[in-house]
Structure 1
């Protein structure tokens, strides 16, 4: 049973339920105490031991029900002869075929219609065939064939061929029953392998898909497929949650700080020098204040949507986030984001300011006239855009002011650096006023840059 528990824990990890070695030991101890007889008790005990959040409980329930599913086999029996009709000829026996046929365990199970024995035989064969090692959907056919070979289906096919060569109708009757049973076993083997794929490979397949989408260009020609867009939005939220969890923990550790020896000794003087009250050094940890200024022209709109989704999913670690969008004129979009959600906000913004000629200078002037007072030394300003201003005045004076007033200015440009000084791009003219300027054309790049922003606010 230990092997089965180890497989179940692997299935949980494949389903993104975090199981530590200590929790694995606790789970084995719980099973040793309660056994496998009571399914609900086993499920509750393992859930209490291994699942640590509502999301993990849902994943645990699915994995448990799938792992411990035992669907009975349905052996098709030949129909009885019609009333008044001729009786079916007596069926041949396995001994009549050959000694090898008489010793076939699978043939005996099929003829006996013993679904329990067949289930046990399939699980034993699956262990020998290492079906639980499945990682890709392309392995299903090969592992199904290997499972059937381990069960002895090739031997059944040989017995069927021999039975049909026997004299009389009894051999054909035996062959027909074995053939029907072979088809059932093959179908159940496919279902078994599919269930193992769902347990061990479905999540890894999803992770592979996420890795590919994380590297997908956000400004690809033809746009992003709607199915991919939905998955990428979910991936952005997952990335944001991962960063929020990581930097929330670092912030808590930063509060504890180090031992303040001077204050500890001063406090201990009231107790004869015994340090009853230990005083720790404290550090003030500021949450980031972020201002996001996004170009929502056609070539950059998709990247802007993902950036806003990312930032708005960081509520735990961001003190304040003000978002602005422009193509020609600039407008604040916080209220639009609150009312319509990030997924639909870009469409609403385009209705208000879309289809205008891109003008970075005009947008910066709007920001300076209406929102410059929101900048301070704790604010990080993130620009997202290709810096293509249609040869208009780029208003470098305003960029200099933003650079001087803010903690840092970060520019995310979807275009590669080789394009930054071509045509109407003024990216190189903005570079002196940016603390960091990076090509940002994938979700992977976006995650790394946002992490760099958060790391600035965490003392080391």
Structure 2
């Protein structure tokens, strides 16, 4: 495959667009038809085959302009006349460094620097602090050593000071241009990698210890994780819809065609559609975990057709309406205000769920409970929780407290555990993603 196109696809993936192998092959075919000369046509053609959504279309357009565009113009010093030294290697560099139209060294310098940057491995840049290093590597690959050697040699000659100044000006111009190329490559490859690294740090950090400055990054990360999770399970559903080949029915259906399988018959296994009921303790420190569980669930609307959400501190309330109708942050603020101020009572929450919403739970339902199981000494109503577990397909309990604290003090976690399909410590967004992935997997 064309190395330029391969680099562009890599840049798209780094920026968050999910360009598949099949789409990359289509992009290569489009490139063969359009070519690089017509940039507008190429941009449109690649956008059609590599961008699957409005978000990806925006990413594609931004990355295309950056990847196929020149680095921002760098100011140059206009020389009175071209300088030549008689040294072929030095003179070749001087010719490249001469200012061209628009204040840059021209197409020849741009092409030479692109080749040098590729040779120097600039696409591997990850942090802005590496810019100086990769600019130096690019200059070395460009062949700046003879120019620097001549500057050093002529500096001791009093009669060559004018030449030295001109050579230094040319060298500085090459340095600026090399740095501009590296900065452009950083914007294409390094910055997205840095963002991905920072996001990975955030999603593995304890939710209860999230700094306010990290909240927006976390919200964006959770939304992106949820989209990928939904897409993954949607693909699995599409693959499973066709079913497995039923050989006996196929042979019977094609008996009149001398056994040639003109018509294929498939075995289909009935699949339940995902149905999730979330029951969330919104008291105290648990609230931060609830925020991201609900954010995850409501970002999974394409994968979860039937979702009910309940919140409680003592009295349980259905909170689906504010989550569906209000901006998420406004909905969470309202839920915490209206539901999160009472004295925690899990037993009363099960009573309210039983008396008012029991029909929300059936054999197709996965119940996800998020809470620490601390009920201030109140009756945990194990009888109702056992009945709930008997009605549901699965009961998954996520606890923000470490397992070593379960059963200590007023914690009823160990008493609830026998009735749960799974019970685990949930500390990070990565834990939430794993749990929801497993919950959806149960429907395949």
TM-score by length of 1: 0.85
CA distance in 1, matches of 2:161, 2:438: 74
Aligned pairs for 1:271-350 within 5 A? 277-350=263-336
Matched, 1:373 2:359: yes
CA distance in 2, matches of 1:121, 1:269: 68
CA distance in 2, matches of 1:152, 1:225: 48
Superposed CA deviations along residues 116-172 of structure 1, whole A, max 9, x for unmatched, are 33223322322332222324444322111111233344544444455554445xx44
Identify the residue that residue 403 of structure 2 maps to in structure 1: 417
Q: CA deviation at 1:437?
A: 0.7
Identify the residue that residue 150 of structure 1 maps to in structure 2: 141
Residues 25, 355 of structure 1: CA spacing in aligned structure 2 closer, same or farther, 3 A cutoff? Answer: closer
229-238 or 46-55, which deviates more: 46-55
Matched position secondary structure for 2:208: coil
Identify the residue that residue 172 of structure 2 maps to in structure 1: 183
1:140 to 131, 140, 158: 131
Identify the residue that residue 16 of structure 2 maps to in structure 1: 16
Residues 215, 269 of structure 1: CA spacing in aligned structure 2 closer, same or farther, 3 A cutoff? Answer: same
Aligned pairs for 1:449-460 within 5 A? 449-458=435-444
Superposed CA deviations along residues 9-46 of structure 1, whole A, max 9, x for unmatched, are 33233333444555445544443444332222232333
CA distance in 1, matches of 2:340, 2:165: 71
Q: CA deviation at 1:301?
A: 0.5
Residues 93, 351 of structure 1: CA spacing in aligned structure 2 closer, same or farther, 3 A cutoff? Answer: closer
Residues 6, 410 of structure 1: CA spacing in aligned structure 2 closer, same or farther, 3 A cutoff? Answer: closer
2:235 to 226, 240, 249: 249
Q: CA deviation at 1:202?
A: 2.3
1:406 to 392, 402, 418: 392
Matched, 1:435 2:421: yes
Identify the residue that residue 199 of structure 2 maps to in structure 1: 210
Root-mean-square deviation (Å): 3.0
Superposed CA deviations along residues 281-338 of structure 1, whole A, max 9, x for unmatched, are 3332221221111011121101101111111122222231111111122111111212
Matched position secondary structure for 2:311: strand
Matched, 1:67 2:67: yes
Asked if the contact 1:382–1:409 (Cα under 8 Å) also holds between the matched residues in 2, the reply is yes
Q: CA deviation at 1:196?
A: 0.9
CA distance in 2, matches of 1:392, 1:100: 91
Identify the residue that residue 122 of structure 1 maps to in structure 2: 113
Asked if the contact 1:101–1:159 (Cα under 8 Å) also holds between the matched residues in 2, the reply is no
CA distance in 2, matches of 1:314, 1:124: 44
Q: CA deviation at 1:272?
A: 9.1
Matched position secondary structure for 1:216: coil
Superposed CA deviations along residues 403-438 of structure 1, whole A, max 9, x for unmatched, are 122222111101111010112111111112212111
Matched position secondary structure for 1:201: helix
Residues 228, 402 of structure 1: CA spacing in aligned structure 2 closer, same or farther, 3 A cutoff? Answer: same
Gaps of 5+ in 1: 80-90
Residues 115, 281 of structure 1: CA spacing in aligned structure 2 closer, same or farther, 3 A cutoff? Answer: closer
Asked if the contact 1:288–1:457 (Cα under 8 Å) also holds between the matched residues in 2, the reply is yes
Matched, 1:355 2:341: yes
CA distance in 2, matches of 1:273, 1:119: 65
Identify the residue that residue 87 of structure 1 maps to in structure 2: none
Asked if the contact 2:347–2:380 (Cα under 8 Å) also holds between the matched residues in 1, the reply is yes
The total of aligned residue pairs comes to: 439
Aligned pairs for 1:49-64 within 5 A? 49-64=49-64
264-273 or 31-40, which deviates more: 264-273
Higher Cα Rg, which structure: 1
CA distance in 1, matches of 2:256, 2:235: 35
Identify the residue that residue 393 of structure 1 maps to in structure 2: 379
Asked if the contact 1:110–1:178 (Cα under 8 Å) also holds between the matched residues in 2, the reply is no
Identify the residue that residue 37 of structure 1 maps to in structure 2: 37
Q: CA deviation at 1:365?
A: 1.9
Matched, 1:106 2:106: no
Q: CA deviation at 1:274?
A: 7.7
Q: CA deviation at 1:174?
A: 3.4
Superposed CA deviations along residues 88-141 of structure 1, whole A, max 9, x for unmatched, are xxx99654xxx6588442234335765333223322322332222324444322
TM-score by length of 2: 0.88
Matched position secondary structure for 2:266: coil
Asked if the contact 2:245–2:265 (Cα under 8 Å) also holds between the matched residues in 1, the reply is yes
122-131 or 417-426, which deviates more: 122-131
Asked if the contact 2:76–2:99 (Cα under 8 Å) also holds between the matched residues in 1, the reply is no
Gaps of 5+ in 2: none
Asked if the contact 2:274–2:365 (Cα under 8 Å) also holds between the matched residues in 1, the reply is yes
